Structure 1
């Protein structure tokens, strides 16, 4: 369906075949950004419990129907994303409020604000754009709501001056901004001393009970932590190099490069849960325990198809599954290949097919390969770039809160490997062979309209900007 543009107060009915939607919030001013959140509301317009508030500190509803996917960078600028599984929303939920908030400044400082709904194939469904905001620090962009068994979207555009905490309280959330209670560790036990017959009986030391979980939801953002890494202190000279967990020595053909880099990614996700969550959330996965398998064969008709990896995430009794097809270097995906995996995923009732390559998408939900939309009715197709994987590794190491030195070392070793040219997981390398001639033509005023070399240079420039945005975000 074509993208429908809504005005304030307008509503539209969503297509019946939609199983899940991405909610994308964008803004113009990049000095600071918006944090997306969602509230699952009952018939009284209030949340049923604090678990119905989905945001950066509580990234998934208890039933798994709504997930916070976080911030992304694209050619069109930064944006925040939420994922809604319409088919999984409980019957007791009448509406889902789609909210944005800011930590500093106000919505009036952000210029044009937009709420966009995107289907599982990356195609826009509807968009609401507003520039009416002024001093608000929290904003309800719209509502996805249910009427007579049909899902609809209403553009609202209502602001709050009391921030995310005030807005959440108005919808029935119990907000508590008190400092979280730290769990105390067991005290070190003293060495038992000899006792005399007159001493009182010795009782076994017991671990003090853990404090009760703090009531209410905390909306303040956690303070970023940097992972401590092991230090190698006993080398006799700087020429001594520590052994590498993922070695680039001996990388040969492109096929070997692809297999080695994919295996390194999956094994690192297995070892470092925070990294697994950061990467898998980009493709709509729930929070849960991660398992990865490589080169799993499936039967399709009279032939076999073998995706590069299978990701499985367990959350309670539910098992989420994604089929991964990875490309390194200049490798690109084909429509036939991805459609084969979509057929396999649908047959096995899996959730998503993931394409992973050096293509960095220009916009939210955009895919480098277009497939038959009919194959996306029950299975989503998501794209990841290696630049985004590298970005998430840097972010987790610098700000992700890893407190296990071994996990920090494993992730740093993976980052070292994946940043090496032989891994095939390239970030931006150069402006291409036409850069100098086009640059000189621009300077001399001799560039011809429609020069195909200029289009190639423009694409390189966009790729440079996107990669710089990811790199600076992690560094700063």
Structure 2
């Protein structure tokens, strides 16, 4: 991988022969595990300006994907030392009048890039081969940074390492390139006008299903043009159901505390409405007089006839690939990160390909055609607990290399970890044509379907219905597509070794448990993120090291010493990091979050206000006062503290309170699998319960909206 310095440039064709599409990744590390930034892309013409505001791509403006497939923001991926945002560029699809593509990132709420570590940009070709890396070292006080740019030279593209910072944030950067910043008053007036002019705004959820049924019955999935009103996302409905905290009496200290808590929870307003209406399906449907509780709804993908693992693999492959071929929004979510272009997709199952004396039959093939060029990938799937076979995947890699295919995609219930591939394959570096090996988990497939139909929406009613049917199939107990569901053969021996104190450091079984714990946490993030419509990522703190193997070895040794597994989750819109801990000695799970104290008001008012906000939280919630450098503070259950919030205050009265720690405890399952009594199910349930009964009362997660003139002025001050 070529290391770049500021101002240097290089032709992509000099680094690889496969740069028709590239993946650009922007990454950083945070010492606290909470630092983050938002990525944006601008397409510029010969004058160095955007042709229109639609050339500005930013995830939180509801504009992450270009209609022509040339740009797609793929979202965040956890790494060993932080997180990484990936962007897929199909350079063959970039309009001819676009001369430059600027890749930037910005921080928010007054944060600067000086608070982050290892700020860098990397670029990989379509096969996933890393080509270049540029470290941004001098953006300490800047709130927005241009990392690099792709620009045309003759018939090819070049990359320039830029590293230019902006103290005025994203708005200043966007304005320099000709993006209009909306005025607050104009934005609100437009929103009111759109709401008044929308005759479907109050339509009942049944109308959505009627429109779906009518459209599918009339012309089939491909002919639907019916406009369907947007249903309220399930996660947002949950947020709206939470009662607002009661205001205290008009005493000065209570008013100050109220204002301080409001400032702590303040988030920018939801993003503005877009002209393109999206389609989602209602969360619940009322029964009619023609229904009976014993009836089963007809399903597009039935699961009752599945009897064997082979049946499940064949059905799951066919179901997924057929939906991908029909729903472009969904297929792009799954394949853009693998270097696939945006184009006409064809999918096949049970194909036969020659290989030595006997043909090989991969489970499926994906083929994408764009501008006369083909991108092809072989697909190998597994369901239930079946593992990939290394020799089988190796054979598919060899076939793909000989036939000029671009990738092999494996799809199982397992979750791949950074630096720890599911199967080891040999790649012949002497071959001119390179084949990339990628992995998907069924949990990630379900997550992407859930995000589209429940939160972000798709532009076609039939597509929404197809995704709903796919999601129902994947979540059915008989499909075999349930995600990671087994802690492995080392789980029971490690627990027994911890109980009788015979587990020693360096035991390979402890390392296997740590790796499976990391897989479980990544799956918990996917499931919770799909339910909430929010980004949920595991936190990897920079001080713990950047090498994944060294970090897991250290965690395995720690498990042998104290018998505990621990992880941290960062959820957009929450006031702190959610921690999950499993104590294998006591058999207890602990979920917790630290809430910082307000900067204004009095400690007694803080304690009263916190107890009020937690009026509907479980009575067994533990609340602990965090004090500055003097050891543990007062603590108690919410049931005991409700009549006496003053019990949270230190007795000496002079100790500085830095915040409050909220914790729930739960017995953990003993089994290694995903049954009702299993460990995996207990962790899933504990995180879900803690978020929906505790965290949701602390803050309401909402998306950030487009910067306006008033917000820009406030940020500049």
When normalised by structure 1's length, the TM-score is 0.74
Contact 1:75 1:465 (8 Å CA) reproduced: no
Contact 1:75 1:462 (8 Å CA) reproduced: no
Contact 1:26 1:79 (8 Å CA) reproduced: yes
Distance in 2, matches of 1:6 and 1:438, equals 46
Please name the residue that 1:160 is paired with. Answer: 166
Structure 1 residue 394: Cα displacement: 1.5
Question: Compared with structure 1, are the counterparts of its residues 455 and 130 closer, same or farther at alpha carbon in structure 2 (3 Å cutoff)?
Answer: same
Please name the residue that 2:105 is paired with. Answer: 100
Deviation digits for residues 394-446 of structure 1 (CA, Å, limit 9, x no counterpart): 11122121476654443233223212354232322142342244245457664
Please name the residue that 1:204 is paired with. Answer: none
Please name the residue that 2:74 is paired with. Answer: 70
Does residue 358 in structure 1 map to residue 413 in structure 2? Answer: yes
Question: Compared with structure 1, are the counterparts of its residues 456 and 26 closer, same or farther at alpha carbon in structure 2 (3 Å cutoff)?
Answer: same
Please name the residue that 1:171 is paired with. Answer: 177
Moved more, 44-53 or 445-454: 44-53
Give the secondary-structure state (helix, strand or coil) at the position aligned to 1:27.
Answer: strand
Please name the residue that 2:149 is paired with. Answer: 143
Deviation digits for residues 95-130 of structure 1 (CA, Å, limit 9, x no counterpart): 543212346553438622332223444443333344
Moved more, 152-161 or 393-402: 152-161
Picking from 387, 394, 408, the partner of 1:336 is: 394
Structure 1 residue 82: Cα displacement: 1.4
Please name the residue that 2:307 is paired with. Answer: 252
Bigger CA radius of gyration:
2
Gaps of 5+ in 2: 201-269, 533-717
Does residue 450 in structure 1 map to residue 450 in structure 2? Answer: no
Contact 2:127 2:407 (8 Å CA) reproduced: no
Please name the residue that 1:17 is paired with. Answer: 16
Give the secondary-structure state (helix, strand or coil) at the position aligned to 1:423.
Answer: coil
Does residue 396 in structure 1 map to residue 452 in structure 2? Answer: yes
Question: Compared with structure 1, are the counterparts of its residues 317 and 138 closer, same or farther at alpha carbon in structure 2 (3 Å cutoff)?
Answer: farther
Structure 1 residue 316: Cα displacement: 6.9
Does residue 36 in structure 1 map to residue 39 in structure 2? Answer: yes
Higher helix share: 2
Distance in 1, matches of 2:297 and 2:417, equals 39
Contact 2:18 2:127 (8 Å CA) reproduced: no
Distance in 2, matches of 1:331 and 1:99, equals 40
Distance in 1, matches of 2:490 and 2:525, equals 23
Deviation digits for residues 221-242 of structure 1 (CA, Å, limit 9, x no counterpart): 7689753257261376544432
Distance in 2, matches of 1:52 and 1:405, equals 27
Deviation digits for residues 205-263 of structure 1 (CA, Å, limit 9, x no counterpart): xxxxxxxxxxxxxx967689753257261376544432333233232333222111011
Distance in 1, matches of 2:147 and 2:58, equals 15
Contact 1:261 1:423 (8 Å CA) reproduced: yes
Please name the residue that 2:516 is paired with. Answer: 460
Gaps of 5+ in 1: 188-218
Distance in 2, matches of 1:365 and 1:132, equals 33
Structure 1 residue 455: Cα displacement: 1.6
Structure 1 residue 58: Cα displacement: 5.5
Does residue 227 in structure 1 map to residue 281 in structure 2? Answer: yes
Contact 2:378 2:396 (8 Å CA) reproduced: no
Distance in 1, matches of 2:72 and 2:489, equals 41
Deviation digits for residues 320-369 of structure 1 (CA, Å, limit 9, x no counterpart): 544433233323154432324423651xxx55443323342334997854
Deviation digits for residues 279-334 of structure 1 (CA, Å, limit 9, x no counterpart): 23343334455443323444568764444333344667766544433233323154
Give the secondary-structure state (helix, strand or coil) at the position aligned to 1:117.
Answer: strand
Contact 1:25 1:81 (8 Å CA) reproduced: yes
Contact 1:53 1:61 (8 Å CA) reproduced: no
When normalised by structure 2's length, the TM-score is 0.52
Question: Compared with structure 1, are the counterparts of its residues 46 and 462 closer, same or farther at alpha carbon in structure 2 (3 Å cutoff)?
Answer: same
Does residue 372 in structure 1 map to residue 372 in structure 2? Answer: no
**Aligned Cα root-mean-square deviation (Å):** 4.3
Contact 1:36 1:68 (8 Å CA) reproduced: no
